[in-house]
Amino acid sequence: MKSSERHWSERAGIHKYLLCNANRLELELHHYAFSLTNQLAVGQLASEIHASSPLRFTIKFRNIPDRSWRWARDELGVDDGTVVITPENYRDQGTTNLSDVISGLNQDLKVRSAMSQTPNTELWTIEAEIAPARDEKSAYANVDLGTPWGAPLRFENALAAVMYHARDVVFTSTSSSSNPSREFHALSDGIKPEWMEEWYDGLGYSGTWNALGQDLTDEKVCNAVDALAEHNVHISSLIIDDNWQDIDYHGESQYRHGWNAFEAQPKAFPNGLKDTVSRIRAKHSNIKHVAVWHALLGYWGGISPSGKLAQDYETVEVIRENSPRRDMDLGGPMTVISKKDVGRFYDDFYRFLSTCGIDGVKADAQFMVDTWASAKQRRELTDAYLDAWVIAALKHFSLRAVSCMSQAPQIIFHQQLPRNKPPLLVRNSDDFFPHVPASHTWHIWANAHNSLLTQHLNVLPDWDMFQTVHEYSGFHAAARCLSGGPIYITDTPGQYNLNIINQITGETPRGNTVIFRPSIVGKSVDHYTDYHDDALLKIGSYHGRAATGTPLLGVFNVSQKPLRELIPLSRLPGVMPSMNYVVRSHDTGAVTPVMRPGSHNAYLPVVLDVRGYDILAAFPLTQFNSEARGGVYAANLGLVGKMTGAAAITANEFSLLRNGRAFLDTRLKALGVLGVYISCLAQLSIERHFMVTIQGQPIPPHTVTKNGADVHVLEIDVETAWKDMGLKAGWSNEVEVKVYFNIEKGEESL
Helices in 49-154 by DSSP H: which ranges?
Answer: 72-76, 98-101
**349 burial type by CB count under 10 A (0-12 exposed, 13-18 middle, 19+ buried):** buried
Other Cβ atoms less than 10 A from the Cβ of 157: the count is 14
Do 540 and 572 meet the contact criterion of CB atoms below 8 Å apart?
yes
Do 359 and 291 meet the contact criterion of CB atoms below 8 Å apart?
yes
* Rounded average pLDDT over 439-461: 97
Determine the angle formed by the axes of helices 437-454 and 473-483, rounding to 10 degrees. Answer: 0
More reliable by pLDDT, 95 or 58: 58
CA angle 517, 736, 698 (to 5 degrees): 140
Confidence band for 96, pLDDT divided at 50, 70 and 90? confident
Can you give the pLDDT at residue 624?
A: 96
Q: Which of 639, 641, 635, 631 is nearest to 678 (CA)?
A: 635
Using CA atoms, how far residue 356 sits from 291, 294, 303, 360, 540, in Å, is 11, 15, 21, 11, 41
Q: Flag the least confident range among 408-417, 536-545, 724-733.
A: 724-733
Backbone angles phi, psi at 360, to 5 degrees: -165, 160
* H/E stretch holding 229: helix 218-230
Max mean pLDDT among 100-104, 196-200, 291-295 falls in: 291-295
Can you give the pLDDT at residue 30?
A: 40
Q: How far apart are CA 394 and CA 374, in angstroms?
A: 30
Using CA atoms, how far residue 192 sits from 189, 422, 562, 750, in Å, is 8, 12, 50, 47
Cα end-to-end span (Å), the chain: 67
Can you give the pLDDT at residue 25?
A: 34
Q: What is the DSSP string of 525-564?
A: S-TT--TTS---EEEEEEESSTTTSEEEEEEE--SSS-EE
Can you give the pLDDT at residue 196?
A: 46
In sequence order, which residues have a C-beta less than 8 Å from that of residue 265 and are 6 or more positions away? Answer: 243, 244, 245, 246, 247
Can you give the pLDDT at residue 627?
A: 85
Q: What is the DSSP string of 165-215?
A: HHHHHHHHHS-SSSSHHHHHHHHHHH-----GGGTTSBEEEE--HHHH-SS
* Rounded average pLDDT over 527-556: 96
Q: How far apart are CA 168 and CA 594, in angstroms?
A: 45
HEC profile for 81-110? EEECCCCHHHCCCCCCCHHHHEECCCCCCE
Can you give the pLDDT at residue 3?
A: 34
Backbone angles phi, psi at 616, to 5 degrees: -105, 130
pLDDT score of 505 more than 80: yes
pLDDT in tens, 463-495: 999 999 999 999 999 999 999 999 999 999 999
Q: Which of 173, 164, 309, 162 is nearest to 246 (CA)?
A: 309
Can you give the pLDDT at residue 542?
A: 98
Beta strands (DSSP E) in 227-386 are 237-240, 245-247, 259-264, 289-295, 315-320, 332-337, 360-364
Q: Which CATH superfamily is domain 180-507 in?
A: Aldolase class I (3.20.20.70)
* Rounded average pLDDT over 17-21: 42
Helices in 455-524 by DSSP H: which ranges?
Answer: 473-483, 498-504
Tally the residues of the chain.
750
* Rounded average pLDDT over 694-709: 95
* H/E stretch holding 55: strand 55-57
Can you give the pLDDT at residue 41?
A: 41
pLDDT in tens, 399-423: 999 999 999 999 999 999 998 888 9
In sequence order, which residues have a C-beta less than 8 Å from that of residue 4 and are 6 or more positions away? Answer: none
* Rounded average pLDDT over 659-669: 94
* Rounded average pLDDT over 619-642: 95
pLDDT in tens, 335-376: 999 999 999 999 999 999 999 999 999 999 999 999 999 999
pLDDT score of 241 more than 80: yes
Map out the domains of the chain as residue ranges.
Answer: 180-507, 621-750
- 298 DSSP assignment: B
Q: Flag the least confident range among 148-157, 277-286, 383-392, 603-612.
A: 148-157
| 347 three-state secondary structure | helix
Compute the CA torsion angle 368, 373, 376, 382 (nearest 10 deg). 10
Can you give the pLDDT at residue 193?
A: 36
* Rounded average pLDDT over 606-620: 98
pLDDT score of 217 more than 90: yes
Max mean pLDDT among 7-16, 121-130, 207-216 falls in: 121-130
Which residue type sits at 43? G
202-228 b/e (C-beta count within 10 Å ≥ 16 → b): bbbbbbbebbbeeebbbebbeebbebb
In sequence order, which residues have a C-beta less than 8 Å from that of residue 693 and are 6 or more positions away? Answer: 699, 737, 738
pLDDT score of 320 more than 80: yes
* Rounded average pLDDT over 165-188: 66
Mean pLDDT of the chain, nearest integer: 88
pLDDT in tens, 225-235: 999 999 999 99
pLDDT score of 63 more than 90: no
